[in-house]
Structure 1
Amino acid sequence: MHYKAYCFDLDGTIYRGKAGIDSAIQFVHQLQAQGIEPFYLTNNSSKTRETIQQMLHDMGITAPLEHIYSSSLATAKYVAKMSKDKRVNVVGEQGIRTALLQEGLIITEEQADILVMGIDRQMTYEKLAKASVYVQNGAVLVGTNGDIKFPNEDSFVPGNGSFVHLIANVAGVTPIFVGKPSPLMLQIMADDHGFDKCQMVMVGDNYDTDILCGINFGCDTIHVNTGVTPTAIVKQQAQLPTYCVENLLELIK
């Protein structure tokens, strides 16, 4: 197994909540010892690149800033291209807000043509109600990602997709999702660093996001049984990952 670009999901692959997954951290260290610097692609829109870099550092992983990609970055680039007046409504935390501002967009509390939703762990009924009104009044509903749930240290908690679908159901619309399983983040990373698809592999725990992202992009995939989708369920799918492992240490030979 020889790739130049190992693209790791984070939640459920490198860590669960704030706890690192030892086997994954050891595998990353093994790659770095071989001169291979991994990439990190997360659907979590709440954190900036700098925050993710610090989280990884606290778990014992040194990651270059330019090797970290989030659904916030991809969503901001997507919305900047589709927005006519550069004004957007936003539900979400610092990660998506920072990314939108860096793309020259203006965050407004007045009705806009686009409503962007990222994970918001301070979600309130008032925020959901206001977002529902904006979308019913014509705002295009764009979600950073469609994850229904993600793992913490003990079990699973609601993901951004749960809230986006709630708004979509109230407003009677179909949302646009930018994060995995869309191949957009992988494409941006490949373009930024000059990789061909045959040189890349997507590593993740969630079949519906991570693995399908790699399949949709056209690169190899590794499913690891440390997060959302159990291996037994993965093996029932029509499109299978290139590899399935219990943990990433199985890949070290």
Structure 2
Amino acid sequence: MAERKPIESWLTDMDGVLIHEGVPIPGADAFIRKLRDRERPFLVLTNNSIYTARDLHARLYRMGLDVPVENIWTSALATARFLDDQRPGGTAYVIGEAGLTTALHDIGYVLTDHDPDYVVLGETRTYSFEALTKAIRLINGGARFICTNPDETGPSTEGPLPATGSVAALITKATGRDPYFAGKPNPLMMRTGLNAIGAHSETSAMIGDRMDTDVLAGLEAGMETFLVLTGLTSPGDVDRYPFRPSSVVDSIADLVDRV
């Protein structure tokens, strides 16, 4: 295997890597602090489209993690960037929260249920039957189907919750139309994130707790990949996949000295 260049930029998932159920994972504060002290380009990525980057900055800051707004990249922002490139000034019917609607407003999209260019499905804790029915009818009527991320479940203090990917499967079953997923593992999310911080894949690393999104996204974008065991993946899960991370570590604390 060819020797990789030294890591100059870091991308890291949020849930399961930096925090777990609203509590910082030991070592996360030291990792972020060292990135900032050494002025390393970095991004905290999340497939969760509920919150704006400003919301997430405030939530992380309350937990003791000082991540600037410009260093947060969400699947909602990646979705908006994709739509702005594909059809500038378009229209969309949106199922989601402020993180998604704000991102679309910021690129000049009009949110409407009247003959929209796109149906955009994001994360919410209050999926309604009425909204899903309207989405299905609009897609059957010709709207293109976009989804922020393919995650089938999400974490909560009570246990896993059905997430965007599960709801997208319902809509696909009803319409026969598969969505385009803008978030991880789509390497588009990684490349637009790298571009946002002026980084290059050959000198960047991705840290995540999921093989099917974080590691796969980093791998397909050409980055070095680190799997941490503080989230959804156990050591025994790794061999079930046809691809491997560059390294498996116990937690983010093991990577502080690599910065």
Same fold by TM (over 0.5)? yes
Counterpart of 1:86 in structure 2 is: 90
Are 1:140 and 2:170 matched, yes or no?
no
One-letter amino acid matched to 2:162: P
- Match for residue 53 of structure 1 among 50, 53, 57: 57
Are 1:238 and 2:250 matched, yes or no?
no
Are 1:15 and 2:19 matched, yes or no?
yes
Counterpart of 1:117 in structure 2 is: 121
C-alpha contact (below 8 Å) 2:89/2:107 kept by paired residues:
no
- What is the TM-score with the length of structure 1 in the denominator? 0.93
Are 1:221 and 2:206 matched, yes or no?
no
Give 3-state SS (helix, strand or coil) of 1:235's partner: helix
C-alpha contact (below 8 Å) 1:18/1:152 kept by paired residues:
no
From the superposition, tell whether residues 122 and 99 of structure 1 become closer, same or farther in structure 2 (CA, over 3 Å): same
Deviations 1:98-134 (A, max 9, x none): 0011111100022313100100111111111111111
Give 3-state SS (helix, strand or coil) of 2:27's partner: helix
CA distance in 2, matches of 1:77, 1:238: 31
Counterpart of 1:149 in structure 2 is: 153
CA distance in 1, matches of 2:137, 2:231: 35
From the superposition, tell whether residues 24 and 140 of structure 1 become closer, same or farther in structure 2 (CA, over 3 Å): same
Counterpart of 1:71 in structure 2 is: 75
C-alpha contact (below 8 Å) 2:16/2:231 kept by paired residues:
yes
C-alpha contact (below 8 Å) 1:16/1:153 kept by paired residues:
no
CA distance in 1, matches of 2:89, 2:201: 35
C-alpha contact (below 8 Å) 1:53/1:62 kept by paired residues:
yes
C-alpha contact (below 8 Å) 1:150/1:228 kept by paired residues:
no
C-alpha contact (below 8 Å) 1:204/1:222 kept by paired residues:
yes
| Runs of 4 or more above 3 Å deviation | 29-38
CA distance in 2, matches of 1:27, 1:181: 24
Return 5+ residue gaps in structure 2 as ranges.
none
Deviation at 1:35, TM superposition (A): 4.3
Deviations 1:229-250 (A, max 9, x none): 2221123322100011121223
C-alpha contact (below 8 Å) 1:151/1:228 kept by paired residues:
no
Aligned identity (percent) is: 32
Counterpart of 2:106 in structure 1 is: 102
One-letter amino acid matched to 2:130: E
CA RMSD after TM alignment: 1.9
Deviations 1:186-221 (A, max 9, x none): 211222222221221000111111111101100001
From the superposition, tell whether residues 23 and 105 of structure 1 become closer, same or farther in structure 2 (CA, over 3 Å): same
The number of residue pairs the alignment matches comes to 253
- What is the TM-score with the length of structure 2 in the denominator? 0.91
Deviation at 1:91, TM superposition (A): 0.5
From the superposition, tell whether residues 185 and 85 of structure 1 become closer, same or farther in structure 2 (CA, over 3 Å): closer
CA distance in 2, matches of 1:31, 1:87: 39
Deviation at 1:70, TM superposition (A): 0.7
C-alpha contact (below 8 Å) 1:12/1:150 kept by paired residues:
no
C-alpha contact (below 8 Å) 1:45/1:70 kept by paired residues:
yes
One-letter amino acid matched to 1:21: I
From the superposition, tell whether residues 78 and 154 of structure 1 become closer, same or farther in structure 2 (CA, over 3 Å): same
Return 5+ residue gaps in structure 1 as ranges.
none
